[in-house]
């Protein structure tokens, strides 16, 4: 069966510090991968998605970047965090064909102080 991992689970970082959040998927090959941000426990904002290694699509101009160095690894980064980067970050995967339903990781709660 497939599983998706995110770490860390929680993170408190000062303004201006760098960020690296990691997401890995097991039990599937060549998945689509997604990063979302959820502010204040409400709606999802799609940040990035990837259909393959090194292929990243950015949905929203922002202070963040994403990379996919391996097939089942997706990394969200920032060089300098802003207060507005605080939120709940969710990684998800889907198969590339068929229904495209997405399966979500447990999330990372980021607080920028």
Where on the phi/psi map is residue 27: left (φ > 0), alpha (ψ -120 to 50), or beta?
left
Instruction: Determine, following the binding rule CB under 8 A, whether residue 58 of this chain makes contact with other proteins.
Output: no
One residue of 11, 13, 28, 46 binding other proteins per CB under 8 A: 46
Instruction: Determine, following the binding rule CB under 8 A, whether residue 92 of this chain makes contact with other proteins.
Output: yes
Binding footprint of other proteins, residue count (CB under 8 A):
23
| 14 vs 100, beta carbon nearer other proteins | 100
Residue 22: name the closest of 32, 12, 11 by CA.
11
One residue of 19, 24, 25, 49 binding other proteins per CB under 8 A: 49
HSE-up of 13 (CA within 13 Å, CB side)? 24
């Amino acid at each position: 069966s497939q599983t998706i991992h995110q770490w860390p689970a929680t993170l408190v970082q000062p303004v201006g510090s760098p960020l690296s959040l990691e997401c890995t998927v097991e039990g599937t090959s060549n998945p689509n991968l997604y990063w979302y941000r959820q502010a204040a426990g409400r709606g999802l904002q799609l940040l990035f998605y990837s259909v393959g290694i090194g292929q990243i699509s950015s949905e929203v101009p922002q202070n963040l970047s994403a990379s996919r160095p391996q097939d089942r690894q997706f990394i969200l980064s920032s060089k300098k965090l802003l207060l507005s980067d605080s939120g709940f970050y969710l990684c998800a995967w889907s198969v590339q064909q068929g229904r495209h339903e997405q399966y979500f990781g447990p999330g990372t709660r980021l607080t920028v102080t």
